[in-house]
Structure 1
Amino acid sequence: MRMVKKLGGWKQKLWKGDKLELLLFGIPRDMTRIEFKNCCDREGLHCLARGQVGREHEHFRVKLTKGDSQECLGVDIEKLSNYVRKFGWRVCIANMIETEKVRRQEARAAEAKKGPSRAVEQASQKKSEKKRKANDGVRKISNREKRKLRVGSWNVCGFARSERKRLEIVDQVEQSDLDVVGIQETWELKDGDVVSKLGKYRWVGKARKGLDPKKRGEGGVGFLVKEHLFDVVEVVVKTEFEESLWLKIPGERGEKDLFLGNVYVPPSSKKVASKAQENFGQIGEDVQRFSRKGEVVMVGDFNSRVGKASSRGQAIGQHGEDKVNDNGVRMLEFLGSNELMVLNGRRECDKPEFTRQRAVCNEYSILDYILVDRGSTQIPELHVSAIDIGSTDHFLIWANIDRSRKIKSKKQRKVFRWKVERLGDDGTRDEFQKGLAGSVESFRKLLRSVEDGQVDVQAAGDRVIEGWESIVNATAERVVGTKVVRCGVSVKWWDDELKEEIGERREVFKQYLSEASEESWEKYRAKRKQVKGLVKKKKKCIWDEVVQKANGGLEGNVKQMWEGISGMVKKTAQGGDTGVATLRGVNGGLVSSGKGKREVLAGHYKRLGVPSENEAFDQAFKKEVDAWAQKEEETSKADVGNVELEKEFTEDEVEACVNKLKCHKAAGADGIVNEFMKFGGKGMIQLMVLLYNWVWKNEYTPSRWREGVVVNLFKKGDKTDPGNYRGITLLNTVGKVFCKLLNDRIVGVLEKEHSISEGQAGFRKKRGCVDHVFTVGRIIQGRKRAGKPTYCFFLDVKKAYDTVWRNGLWKQLSKYGIKGKMWRVLKKMTECTKSAVMLDGELSKFFDIEQGVPQGCTLSPTLFQVFINDLLEVVEAVRKGVKVGDTETSVSGMLFADDFVGMSDTPEGLQLQIDAAKKFTDKWRLSANVQKSAVMVCNENKEEPVEHRWKWGIEEIAVVDQYTYLGVEIAKDCSWNAHMSKVAKRGKARAGKLHPILANRHLDTRIKLTVLKSVIVPPLEYAGEVWEGNK
């Protein structure tokens, strides 16, 4: 290699002016820039450690200046190349690469400045004319565009404090067209894990820990995220620094993921100096963690004044303020150690762009920042918007981050609903009934043509279902009609008059900022007070309308009355959103987007719908039952079955089921609501009888009747766990009536034959939860009076309905006399079912359910009763129950749906009962939730406490002092103190929530009594027959 003059070890001819750029390949993907620099420093490559380092996809780009290169101490390019190979790296010069790129850019710029040639211009004009003619009269609007990510930050001093402020903030953010805005000082009292919709944005927040719920909130951070973006982001709640929240925005087309952090650093003081140092240390740990996974951008109120830089290329700008505070010193250290820089103060202007101002007090400061990677090739420009929302002295700041995304604009969802209220009019109802009656004969002709021409039952059934639905829907469309319901939350008092008043207040605010006088401040205060008064006045008008609506419904329109009461409850309730929270996926990560949560829930229910294997399950019995079920499919056709079950349906049967239907319920996929069946008259009943008898005769189950939409209700526990939500399956209404007909026949036969054990009380006529709890309570208290202890075992079956073994269910049905056609129809109605999860008004993909019975189907409780009935038999066979009074009657266990309680008079006897129950669940492939199951020793001898430990297989069962059984607290000392305390607490909470209604002078007293008797009293009186006051 020819020796030439070197400057710090690099050949002079390789330099481009004062700069030299290198590309290093083969560096591990998870190595951060800071780790790279530390490695270079440790290995003596000081020039690389001093250079400006940035990651570009799979390699690092290092920019050196002549001063940096002096640290190389004579190492030339060949020696450096050989040296870095021991790390598995490769190095090359990048100056020429960039020179070529710059040359192309300069050529394009020169061509643009010169203008296109005449030939090119003519070709372009012809192309534009051709395109215009092709699209003449057609206006195409693309719903996808690509643009940079617009990120903002705003300390609003009380986002959760008032609805008016939230609406103003969202309105201003929307006008600024920001994609993501970090909000500080939200003053929330609890985490906003449940994502709420605010205009075109979604809100998710994180409250400061340890706040007193009775006082005003403090601190807290959150994000406003545009809906189109929220479908892809993930919320990262768990961080080292508590008062921070992070979003993960996936990269597109090979780009790294973007981690956007939002922090609020409290002001520093001498008392909390060490805490302030700890805060920045924890934020640094979060930055290091996320920088290993992608690119980091931070926004927030750091309460730090960092001063200004003396030259370009530093972590702070040259055009900031002069002052530096204690937090500012720590923030400068934080920026240096984490290779970050602030966007503030980089634009040359007459005076610093302050982010917080109190003009009347002459207080100006820069406390709010946007931070980006110091190795960024392009530095975004920061914008400061002096927007007034009536309470904060901080300004909105934002910047265009160099991260382009495809944006899919969402259209407002329209929902068409039937005008069922018209069926309340006698004339409309008569016309509807006549229309259906006139279609009965045409439906009969359809059935005859199908039977004559179709051989395939499935194809014939599809024609029958479509014909029946078209008759009902066509008649309803002609007589009843539809209306459009626009989805979304609207606030009536947020009208044009109020917006105009707020606009005037903002103009006064601008005048105050420019003049900074006491007079302009007082003028602004007066205007602000005027706006608050107008908001209060408008809210009162809305409240009066709600009260008037409730009073108006007192004379007969009960639905209107309850709508008014419901409106008042919503306006007075301060509770959080009741929707589905941020969920934890299979990999343990938190998912907050609507699409992501639908996928998590769908995956959860899909896994529940797949039969699981357990080592304890009886495999030999499974093989036996599976073989029987396969054989029974054919042999059952020769089985006549019970005559009561096999006969065709009558009009009386159908009419009895229809009369039990409730109004104002959601329609199925066919759009047919309960009101059509209830008010359809004789014609509707005849149409339903014809349809059901054809389905029954041909043993055909429509696919629509087997498709369910799952909605989720939170039970208790961790909101991020999908298992803590109860999935309710919404089914086709016409199919539900058919299932109700089947259920009534089955129940009639089972009760007539006394097939169901007397110990089962769930979903049986003239039996209920209170009867069950009454029996358990009286047995325990009676034995206490006799000085005898009672050993109780409460079994919690895990996902009982969802995990029913279907072949086992068919075996049990056959055992209890459900055979022949009824057996085959039930099998077809339950098998081949599909479900989809409904969330935020959208459906997930449908997935197959291979086990279980759907919660929401009228058949499911009865089928589960039959399936689990033998549990009581196997426990009673142990003969270790408790005797009732002085009689020889003994009770070993009781069952209400999947809630089982076993009782014995000895510890050993209870263990035998537990072993018998364990053997039953293993045989019939049910799983116990041992963590939620418990043993309780009632009336225990305090001098000789029981030391026995009970086990479910190899797992130990917890021994508790009280247990909630069917909503009633049962205590080991047989008192009702715990239950009464719980009931009283619940009653106080409801009374407090409804106090504004009960104390409203304008609301009719009769409505207040209705609310009192219907909402507050029932929970207080629940199971009042069981418990009694202390004597």
Structure 2
Amino acid sequence: MDDGTRLVSYCIPDGPPSEAEVVLELKLLKRNKVPGPDLLSPSLFKDGGVRLLSELTKLLQTIWETEEVPRDWCLSTVIPVFKKGSRSLCDNHRGISLVSVASKLLTGLILRRLTKPRESQIREEQAGFRSGRGCVDHIFTLRRILEHRHSYRQPTAVVFLDLRAAFDSVARNVLWSCLLRKGVPEKYVNLLRSLYAHSASRVRVYGQLSRAFITSSGVRQGCPISPFLFNFVMDDILEGALRESSGLGVELLPGARLTDLEYADDIVLLSPSAEDMQTMLNKVSDRAGLYGMHFAPSKCKVLLQDWGISTPTFFIAGNPLETVDSFTYLSSTISSVCNIADEISTRIAKARLAFSKLRYLWRRKNVQLSLKRRVYNAHVRSILLYGSETWPVHKGDINRLVVFDHRCLRHLAHIKWVDRVSNAAVRRRVFRNVRDARSIGQDRDANRALHEEAGLRFFEIFISSPLEVCEQRDVKGLYKKARAGEIKDFTGLTSAYESPAKPDLILHTDKRTVQECVQQCIEMLANAVSPHGKT
């Protein structure tokens, strides 16, 4: 392939693996993983003792020297898992491939040696399958770019590309050439080539195995090194297609431009020009075709920001792409008007669905509240706050999230609204002895800070009255119910009451009439407006 991409070399040993390296790979194996076609579980390898370790090391060293991988290691078992929709359609299932644990040890050794030198060579635009990188990095980058350009009303075209069956479509002969060209030692390439030379799969359904069928393209599913190899492919495609892109992309800093973002096979192209965007689409599509990979036009979308009256139509492989106002990128909603409200609505809806699916757990009173709290944080809050690091939120957005959170916490603690228990008391009960729970005083200070940041005055009025007076005034009989144990965490009785530290005004309602208390409030507000008390 004539591409002109940069040539690199790796300073890594190509000698056979040592026993210490094998021990490390065995430690990294997870016990509860399902075994491959040979039915040899990870626990067998981990608990095999010194004898198995010695024999396994000798076997791996022999494979390393001969560059011949056992054929049994090339076989995988595919288990179809239903996603959604009609069960009769194959597209509504995804396959989970089970490969030999021994083959994972070999590819793990190769991966361990190649990862560190490769990390310094991979494109910065790629965040998938990289240590210390994640979805949030690219979500944040894309949001900041769009917000900055939107503030200056600069036109921006964003195209989200989706490859059709990306992992299964890679042309292997081109992959080996790419690895050699990128500086991977020939020894490693030959070992991988041997592993893929006789690759075959069998499908397991209802406890029965199908006949083996040969797989001649794509990287092996379920293999530790497959994501690493796939990143080589994506790196080569984008680097080769956009290597002469000095004038393309959007400007980040004077002289620095960004043309694309990648998270594995999720590609984003950016451009302020329709002509430049179409040029990039043509180059990327042609380059991907050399690897046997093709884009799915129906899943590729265009987002135009501050574009004006005319709406250009973009094409990929001759197929027009749909223009949308918002797009779900890495599970986060990206809007053309940089509106975060839609994203928060989506997150609340998804968190509500996750919460409702665990309704049976929240209703059980024999389950400890501490366990419910842990499940709630792991399965609901994590969904609610996914990508929140990237949100330019306003006070109203925060209130929506807090209202949903408090509603869920009340369900966990079996506290009804009619119980008249404050949100702060609910949080203290659920997050007892946990740093997440804040005191009422901290909530008050936070509210004061929010008002002051918005340029609003905040007044804290302490309505003071003895407990016995409150009970006398209770026409609904709530105090009586609380003393009888019918209402839990009732402020002043079963839940501690925290008096304000420095209130702006104290109203002693047991000593003054309603009119006198109202007059005190008016005088305080008048003094706040005018030092001389004149409104």
Residues 1:721 and 2:85 aligned together = no
CA distance in 2, matches of 1:714, 1:975: 34
Residues 1:819 and 2:185 aligned together = yes
- Partner of residue 657 from structure 1, selected from 11, 25, 45: 25
Q: 1:815 to 1:989 in 2, by over 3 A?
A: same
- Partner of residue 902 from structure 1, selected from 269, 274, 289: 269
Are the equivalent residues in 2 in contact too, given 1:962–1:969 (CA < 8 A)? yes
Q: Secondary structure at the match of 2:299?
A: coil
Q: Which amino acid aligns with 2:114?
A: I
- Partner of residue 850 from structure 1, selected from 202, 208, 216: 216
CA distance in 2, matches of 1:719, 1:908: 43
- Partner of residue 796 from structure 1, selected from 149, 162, 175: 162
Q: Which amino acid aligns with 1:721?
A: L
Q: 1:810 to 1:969 in 2, by over 3 A?
A: same
CA distance in 2, matches of 1:899, 1:959: 18
- Using the TM superposition, give the Cα deviation of residue 744 of structure 1 relative to its aligned residue in structure 2, in angstroms: 1.6
Match of 1:678 in 2: 46
- Using the TM superposition, give the Cα deviation of residue 989 of structure 1 relative to its aligned residue in structure 2, in angstroms: 1.3
Deviations 1:471-524 (A, max 9, x none): xxxxxxxxxxxxxxxxxxxxxxxxxxxxxxxxxxxxxxxxxxxxxxxxxxxxxx
Q: Which amino acid aligns with 2:312?
A: H
Match of 1:1005 in 2: 369
Deviations 1:274-313 (A, max 9, x none): xxxxxxxxxxxxxxxxxxxxxxxxxxxxxxxxxxxxxxxx
Query: Aligned ranges for residues 116-515 of structure 1 at < 5 Å?
Result: none
Match of 1:945 in 2: 309
- Partner of residue 256 from structure 2, selected from 889, 901, 922: 889
Residues 1:694 and 2:58 aligned together = no
Q: 1:927 to 1:970 in 2, by over 3 A?
A: same
Q: Which amino acid aligns with 2:217?
A: Q
Deviations 1:618-645 (A, max 9, x none): xxx6xx99xxxxxxxxxxxxxxx96624
Query: Aligned ranges for residues 589-628 of structure 1 at < 5 Å?
Result: none
Deviations 1:386-433 (A, max 9, x none): xxxxxxxxxxxxxxxxxxxxxxxxxxxxxxxxxxxxxxxxxxxxxxxx
Structure number having the greater strand percentage: 1
- Using the TM superposition, give the Cα deviation of residue 764 of structure 1 relative to its aligned residue in structure 2, in angstroms: 0.9
Match of 1:996 in 2: 360
Match of 2:284 in 1: 917
CA distance in 2, matches of 1:642, 1:990: 46
Q: Which amino acid aligns with 1:994?
A: L
- Using the TM superposition, give the Cα deviation of residue 758 of structure 1 relative to its aligned residue in structure 2, in angstroms: 1.1
Q: 1:888 to 1:643 in 2, by over 3 A?
A: closer
Deviations 1:842-895 (A, max 9, x none): 1111101111112211111111111221232223523310011x4321100011
Match of 1:954 in 2: 318
Q: 1:780 to 1:683 in 2, by over 3 A?
A: farther
Q: Which amino acid aligns with 1:948?
A: P
Q: Secondary structure at the match of 1:931?
A: helix
Q: 1:957 to 1:871 in 2, by over 3 A?
A: same
CA distance in 2, matches of 1:881, 1:743: 33
- Using the TM superposition, give the Cα deviation of residue 784 of structure 1 relative to its aligned residue in structure 2, in angstroms: 1.5
CA distance in 2, matches of 1:672, 1:900: 38
Residues 1:730 and 2:98 aligned together = yes
Are the equivalent residues in 2 in contact too, given 1:645–1:746 (CA < 8 A)? no
CA distance in 1, matches of 2:67, 2:383: 45
Are the equivalent residues in 2 in contact too, given 1:876–1:893 (CA < 8 A)? no
CA distance in 1, matches of 2:283, 2:209: 43
- Using the TM superposition, give the Cα deviation of residue 797 of structure 1 relative to its aligned residue in structure 2, in angstroms: 0.5
CA distance in 1, matches of 2:384, 2:106: 37
CA distance in 2, matches of 1:904, 1:750: 29
CA distance in 1, matches of 2:309, 2:50: 68
Residues 1:808 and 2:167 aligned together = no
CA distance in 2, matches of 1:1017, 1:839: 36
Match of 1:784 in 2: 150
Q: Secondary structure at the match of 2:12?
A: helix
Deviations 1:818-861 (A, max 9, x none): 13211111111122100011112211111011111122111111
Match of 1:834 in 2: 200
Q: Secondary structure at the match of 2:268?
A: strand
Structure 2 residues without counterparts, runs of 5 or longer? 4-8, 396-535
Match of 1:863 in 2: 229
Q: Secondary structure at the match of 1:730?
A: strand
Match of 1:928 in 2: 295
Match of 1:381 in 2: none
- Using the TM superposition, give the Cα deviation of residue 990 of structure 1 relative to its aligned residue in structure 2, in angstroms: 1.6
Q: 1:966 to 1:716 in 2, by over 3 A?
A: farther
- Using the TM superposition, give the Cα deviation of residue 1028 of structure 1 relative to its aligned residue in structure 2, in angstroms: 4.0
Deviations 1:155-210 (A, max 9, x none): xxxxxxxxxxxxxxxxxxxxxxxxxxxxxxxxxxxxxxxxxxxxxxxxxxxxxxxx
Q: 1:678 to 1:1021 in 2, by over 3 A?
A: farther
Asked which structure has the greater CA Rg, the reply is 1
- Using the TM superposition, give the Cα deviation of residue 1016 of structure 1 relative to its aligned residue in structure 2, in angstroms: 1.8
Are the equivalent residues in 2 in contact too, given 1:836–1:846 (CA < 8 A)? yes
Q: 1:846 to 1:1020 in 2, by over 3 A?
A: same
Residues 1:740 and 2:104 aligned together = no
Q: Which amino acid aligns with 1:748?
A: K
- Using the TM superposition, give the Cα deviation of residue 729 of structure 1 relative to its aligned residue in structure 2, in angstroms: 1.2
Q: Secondary structure at the match of 2:334?
A: strand
CA distance in 1, matches of 2:197, 2:170: 12
Q: Secondary structure at the match of 1:737?
A: helix
Deviations 1:666-708 (A, max 9, x none): 1223332122333445444333322211211121211221111
Match of 2:71 in 1: 703
Q: Which amino acid aligns with 2:314?
A: W
- Partner of residue 134 from structure 2, selected from 768, 775, 783: 768
Match of 2:124 in 1: 758
- Using the TM superposition, give the Cα deviation of residue 903 of structure 1 relative to its aligned residue in structure 2, in angstroms: 0.4
Q: TM-score, normalised by structure 1?
A: 0.36
CA distance in 2, matches of 1:653, 1:772: 34
Are the equivalent residues in 2 in contact too, given 1:876–1:892 (CA < 8 A)? no
Q: Secondary structure at the match of 1:835?
A: strand
Higher RCO structure, 1 or 2 (CA under 8 Å, sep 6+): 2
CA distance in 2, matches of 1:665, 1:683: 23
Q: Secondary structure at the match of 1:869?
A: helix
Residues 1:982 and 2:346 aligned together = yes
Q: Secondary structure at the match of 1:712?
A: strand
Are the equivalent residues in 2 in contact too, given 1:797–1:928 (CA < 8 A)? yes
Q: 1:756 to 1:660 in 2, by over 3 A?
A: same
Q: Secondary structure at the match of 1:969?
A: strand
Residues 1:1025 and 2:389 aligned together = yes
Deviations 1:518-559 (A, max 9, x none): xxxxxxxxxxxxxxxxxxxxxxxxxxxxxxxxxxxxxxxxxx
Query: Aligned ranges for residues 22-61 of structure 1 at < 5 Å?
Result: none
CA distance in 2, matches of 1:647, 1:920: 35
- Using the TM superposition, give the Cα deviation of residue 953 of structure 1 relative to its aligned residue in structure 2, in angstroms: 3.0
- Using the TM superposition, give the Cα deviation of residue 709 of structure 1 relative to its aligned residue in structure 2, in angstroms: 0.7
